[in-house]
Amino acid sequence: MMVTHGTKRGRHPGRIAARVCGITVSCAMMFAAAAGGAAPARQTEYASGTAVATKTQDVFGILHEGTISGELYIANDFQIDQSGMVIDYGVTRAGAPVAETVGKGEHAAGTSTNTLTKVSSGLKAMPWAVHVQYSLNGPNVDSSAISGANGLVGLHVTVSPNSLADTDYARTTIPIIAFTVPTKVTGAVTGSSGTLVTQKGTDMLVIAVGRPARTISFDFFFTAKHCSMSPLAVAAVEASDTAEFSRSMTALAMRAGNLSDIAIGGGKHDTKLLNRLKSMRDGERDKAKHAIAAADPAYQQAFHDYMAAYVTSYTGHLSGSIGDSTQMSALLGTAGELNSDTPVARAVANISNATNDRSAARSHQGAADAIDDTIRQIELRGTTGLAADLKRQAASQTSRAAKDFKTGQKMMHDAMIPFSMAYTDAYTRHLSKMTGGTASGASTYAQQAIEQTNDEFTSNKNLKTDNQKVQAALDTMAAAKASEGQGKMLLTLAALVAKSGTGDASEASKSAAADWKTVSATGLTSYVSQSRVGGAADDADNAAEHRAGTGSAGRANSAAGTHTTTFVAPVASERLLYGLSGRVRGLESDMSGTVDDVVAVETAADIIRNAVDTLAPDEASASSALTRAIDEARAAKAKVAAPIDAQSSVGALEASRIGREGVSRDVVTPVNTHTAGARFLMVTDKL
């Protein structure tokens, strides 16, 4: 749809309400009703820009601590088809449309521009409602009972079209549900029909494919040790084929992954400190690269040498008839060698050192991650209060690292016993075939039996499972050392940030109490609110002004009515719609909340990327569940009425008027008739 020069007519958006379900970890992704949201009886004039532009939206919905916060972050992309000024509408806290100019002036045809909007709670509903119920060893429980628990954990996830949403996207989008569970928590996740489970690094990735316009439920179960899991991500895009699905989901994930770069930014920060941190980060990444490149092959060789020494010693203790399974007397003979200076004892020491070295190599990666996260926080919030936060984070990471490393060691102990028994069983079976079942001359065939056993461990399903348990233990210890590296680096960073505050302090910190203005960040215009405190009276006044046509929108309408291009920007209290600071909590506390939101979204971005790679690995093939959903989405899209601006019986100006029958494509307000489509990502908190 297009924005054209001239006056628009339309009705105030009717449905702004939603409700919050009374469950714990995730309620329906809906938002509470906003006061004053009823549509006025008369038509209202809305100013339009002079440009012809098409807008698409990436919409992120955030949940905090298992309850709906109601906040939406919306990244808007404008494609300019005809040069001029672009006007886009948001809504006040009272639910009335409020206009904003996009950028500082006119835009040339063929260019693009972007904005970021934060919509306060209670104003808009997502097109999909998401309900999550947890269980522990049978009964349903609150999410807090799941965190850190041991036992059979269940998730029952229901995704359904939200009747309270103003748009029709639930009819035409394909919802994807995805989350991860660390392998240190569980080695297997069972899902109902339509789900996929695969291992990605140190995590089990769980994916379910929903269907357009349908309510669908999925069940997941896993046996947990000290349960934890990622945020649950629900992403929805429109797609007519697999390639479009992959492109749209990947683009959504990319935007989500860059949210911290665009949510706040462009302010004045401690450039000297940031440059120093970036240099430190790059140095740690380089150290990690070289350390891992050296440690991983060394571990593999040490493990190979250990298993060879182990079965060679075992072979030397075999006697009589070998049989097809481990000979316990020979195994006890090998165990007796561990207390002496023997090849097998030295191999045990070497594999222990190599395991520790492999894990320690990840400490540099953890340090690099800590620096990178600190850089993002400074870019988001300046350095106010950051040193204290980093110290707290350091204590948490160090404590967790110690616990996780012990967990990994226990996992390795528990995994190596069945692995070694399975290995000697297989080795004995191969050796017996070569020797005719006798121990006489067995050492002659030892190397050949080792090679056959190694080959079997790469093909036999049960033996591969034993090997995966060993790998999960290794990964857990490595991740613990990465956390340890983070903890140590965070203490260093806390000292650096504190020092910078006494001298070359960040300008963002110095001006924390000052008003935040419109700023530019990485090609996006980020509307950040004034930090002054407002109240309910402001909202009532603003709503009254809009109804009377005397507020900023009314003044703009008057200008449009006289066919001038003069545009009066909304007053400061109306700009709070676009703001990233709160009215009551103050700038610093709200910025910390925004950082938490961004972290949740960016974590979900990685999950969605991996889900796309699993569902549609080459943009041509796709899972059967995804193929079915795409077919239904394509059919649903074909039934949607033609866009208003495609009706050839009316002129361009008439086609752009507000208030025609049909459903809005804009998530914020139907006043924006230039919105062509949207993608969605809904994110719960991590347990």
* Beta pairing partners, 400: none
Rounded to two decimals, the pTM is 0.57
Q: Is 382 left (phi over 0), alpha (psi -120 to 50) or beta?
A: left
Angle at 249 between CA 87 and CA 683, to 5 degrees: 80
The two three-digit tokens of residue 292, written as one number? 């891992």
Q: What proportions of the chain, in percent to the nearest 5, are helix, strand and coil?
A: 45, 20, 35
SS3 463: helix
For residues 162 and 127, is the Cβ–Cβ distance under 8 A?
yes
Among the residue ranges 175-189, 240-254, 329-343, the one predicted with the least confidence is 329-343
CB contact at 8 A, 595 and 380: yes
Q: What is the pLDDT of residues 129-150, one digit of tens each?
A: 888 889 999 999 988 889 889 9
- Cα-based distances in Å from 651 to 67, 142, 380: 47, 56, 46
Beta strands across the sheet bearing 128-136 = 140-141, 128-136, 151-161, 216-224, 190-191
Inter-residue contact 573 to 534 (CB < 8 Å): yes
- Per the CB < 8 A criterion, the answer to whether 26 and 680 are in contact is no
**Count of residues for the chain?**
687
Of 219-233, 362-376, 388-402, 491-505, the range with the lowest mean pLDDT is: 491-505
Query: For residue 90, what are the β-bridge partners?
Result: 98
Distance CA 68, CA 577 (A): 18
Q: What confidence tens digit (pLDDT) does each residue in 375-425 have?
A: 877 776 677 778 888 898 888 888 888 888 988 889 888 888 888 888 888
Q: What are phi and psi of 135, to 5 degrees?
A: -135, 155
Average pLDDT value over all residues in the chain: 74
Of 323-327, 558-562, 563-567, 682-686, give the range with the top mean pLDDT: 323-327
What type of residue sits at position 437? G
Q: CA-to-CA distance for 237 and 677, rounded, in angstroms?
A: 9
Predicted confidence (pLDDT) per residue in 544-560, tens digit = 333 333 333 333 333 33
Cross-strand partners of 62: 683
